[in-house]
Amino acid sequence: MDHEFWLERWRTNQIGFHQADFNARLTQHWPTLGLATDARVFVPLCGKSRDMLWLAGAGHAVTGVELSSTAVEAFFAEAGAPHSRRQAGPFAFYDGGRIGIYCGDFFALTEREVAGTAGVFDRGALIALPPAMRRRYAEHLLNILPVGAQSLLLTIEYDQARASGPPFSVQPEEVADLFGARCSVELLERSPTQEMPPRFYVQGIHEAGESTYRIIKER
Ligand SMILES: C[S@@+](CC[C@H](N)C(=O)[O-])C[C@H]1O[C@@H](n2cnc3c(N)ncnc32)[C@H](O)[C@@H]1O
């Protein structure tokens, strides 16, 4: 899953992962984190997710990171949100006021870009990545986030032998393995998924689960 894979997906509009509506698990579980309404929130691998609008509407200052400029520009265009663009180190930073998006590689982010982050919303970030990259993703995320930052992590679980990702199946044991040494990990909900990619049916997968976690960085 290299950069070109994702850039090509955006160029050719193969973005079945994009949701027209706010994510139901976000709106249901976000209040559980108990964050201040003006707390700073980070959305890794944000695409053009409208969930950033929901978070900003709740009062948060939102910072996203996304590889594809097509996605970032579509986000602001579709939101009708005025913004400016400037270079910020290896990133193009799109500044829309309450919502700012770093366009570039998540793995190039440093503590500086996510300073003050109190909340993280991960939908389609961890599960977008193959196994070795998931470990690298979790390690990098935990290296740059402030202690105390809380994440709402959404995962999907299915028979990985029947279909390939993305989205990848991520089991609770892996979430514990990736985050458990430095974080408290709490499973908030596990249920049959509402977000099954249509191709899964063709590949013989008729049911899949989804889990929602609250993860707090403790060290
Ligand atoms: C499955 S999509 C999910 C997008 C968004 N979170 C959502 O819910 O709609 C994964 C996104 O991650 C972006 N991406 C993949 N690798 C990345 C990286 N290394 N740095 C920044 N963005 C990346 C892709 O371009 C794509 O938009």
Tens-place pLDDT, residues 85-112: 999 999 999 999 999 999 999 999 999 9
In angstroms, the Cα distances linking 162 to 18, 186, 208 are: 23, 28, 12
Local confidence band at 194 (pLDDT 50, 70, 90 cut-offs): confident
Predicted confidence at residue 71, as pLDDT, reads 98
**What is the amino acid identity at position 159?**
D
Summarize pLDDT for 176-187 with one digit per residue, the tens: 999 999 999 999
Question: Which burial class, exposed, middle or buried, applies to 202 when counting CB atoms under 10 A from its CB (0-12, 13-18, 19+)?
Answer: exposed
Q: Would you state the structure tokens that stand for residue 76, as one six-digit string?
A: 């602001």
128 Cβ below 6 A of ligand 1: yes
Q: Is the pLDDT of residue 61 over 90?
A: yes
Q: Is the pLDDT of residue 195 over 80?
A: no
207 Cβ below 6 A of ligand 1: no
Question: What's the full length of the chain, in residues?
Answer: 219
Q: How far apart are CA 92 and CA 74, in angstroms?
A: 15
Residue nearest atom 27 in ligand 1 by C-alpha distance:
47
Residue nearest atom 1 in ligand 1 by C-alpha distance:
124
Query: DSSP string spanning 2-27?
Result: -HHHHHHHHHTT--TT--SS--HHHH
6 Cβ below 6 A of ligand 1: yes
Predicted confidence at residue 160, as pLDDT, reads 95
72 Cβ below 6 A of ligand 1: no
**What is the amino acid identity at position 104?**
G
Q: Which of 71-80, 140-149, 162-171, 193-202 shows the lowest per-residue confidence on average (mean pLDDT)?
A: 193-202
- Best residue for ligand 1 mutational test, from 3, 4, 6, 101 (most atoms within 8 Å of Cβ): 6
